[in-house]
């Protein structure tokens, strides 16, 4: 009979692999990728932008009419307020300014994700309302920090890696006074919610509630799923979700 110690001994000898496995799992998780993406923007902004001209405020949670919104980075300068949304993704990226969803393709795997320009629009409106400032002084910046490649022509404010620095520096007309810059930084710092686990947890819950309330969307094309009723066959009379883009997309899911 094989003893327990005989079975456990080789496993215990490999104990050092456990932290390595945990670290790898963390960096592969969506949370870990988000941390890496934010770190990239934090470090590149500090080294590539003159800190006397550009003031970086990171991980800002602001109250909104229906809950909260969380902004990765806000860079305040005399040249404008830059609201930065970071995406740490790999693979081929397809999308344009007007599409509701963009596409990530890694080999044969395809994934739809929300247009980050639309996502950042709410951030900009929140900042505009918080500061009471002209929206023309606020610029949306999207940074893809991972090993990705654009396969469609992107707007000039959607950049890969360090390219977002070039976009920010391209805005070289002073449109905000130094006094206004100091006032804006104060308003953001005083208006933001405290940086705490509770704030983050409540924001995550708020986002989940929004997602749950949204109409179901087709995982293949991103169109809305609508309730249909089977008219023929053994399932006649049963209801199911079908893609509103039918017949171009024939996706269906379980009965309602």
Question: What does the pLDDT read at residue 9?
Answer: 64
3-state SS record for the chain: CCCHHHHHHHHHCCCCHHHHHHHHHHHHCHHHHHHHHHHHHHHHHHHHCCCCCCEEEEEEEEEECCEEEEEEEEEEECCEEEEEEEECCCEEEECCCCCCEEEEEECCEEEEEECHHHHHHHHHHHHHHHHCCCHHHEEEEEEECCCEEECCCCCCCEEECCHHHHHHHHCCCCCCCHHHHHHHHHHHHHHCCCCCHHHHHHHHHHHHHHHHHCCCECCCCCCEEEEEECCCCCCCCCEEEEECCCCCCCCEEEEC
Query: Tens of pLDDT along the chain (256 residues)?
Result: 555 555 556 655 665 555 655 544 444 555 444 565 567 777 888 889 999 999 999 888 888 776 778 898 999 999 999 999 999 898 999 999 999 999 999 988 898 899 999 989 989 999 998 899 999 999 999 999 888 999 999 999 999 999 999 999 999 999 999 999 999 999 998 878 755 444 445 544 444 454 454 456 777 777 788 877 777 765 666 667 788 888 888 777 754 4
Question: What does the pLDDT read at residue 52?
Answer: 93
Per-domain residue ranges for the chain?
Answer: 12-213, 225-255
């Amino acid at each position: 009979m094989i003893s327990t110690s005989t079975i456990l001994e080789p496993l215990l000898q490999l104990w050092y692999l456990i932290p390595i496995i945990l670290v790898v799992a963390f960096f592969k998780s969506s949370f870990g990728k988000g941390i890496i993406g934010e770190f990239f923007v934090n470090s590149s902004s500090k080294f590539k932008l003159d800190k006397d001209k550009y003031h970086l405020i990171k991980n800002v949670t602001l109250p909104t009419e229906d809950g909260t919104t969380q902004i990765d980075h806000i860079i305040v300068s005399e040249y404008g307020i830059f609201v930065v949304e970071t995406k740490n993704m790999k693979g081929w990226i397809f999308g344009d300014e007007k599409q509701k969803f963009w596409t990530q393709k890694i080999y044969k795997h395809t994934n739809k994700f929300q247009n980050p320009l639309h996502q950042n629009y709410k951030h900009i409106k929140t900042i505009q309302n918080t500061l009471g400032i002209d929206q023309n002084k606020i610029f949306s910046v999207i940074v893809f920090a991972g090993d990705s490649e654009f396969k469609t022509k992107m707007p000039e404010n959607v950049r890969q890696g360090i390219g977002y620095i070039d976009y920010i520096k391209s805005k070289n007309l002073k449109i905000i006074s130094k006094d206004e810059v100091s006032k804006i930084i104060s308003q953001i710092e005083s208006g933001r919610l405290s940086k705490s686990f509770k704030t983050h947890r409540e924001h995550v819950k708020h986002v989940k509630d929004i997602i749950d309330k949204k109409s179901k969307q087709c995982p293949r094309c991103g169109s809305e799923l609508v309730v249909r009723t089977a008219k023929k066959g053994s399932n006649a009379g049963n209801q199911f979700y079908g893609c509103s883009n039918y017949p171009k997309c024939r996706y269906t899911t379980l009965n309602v």
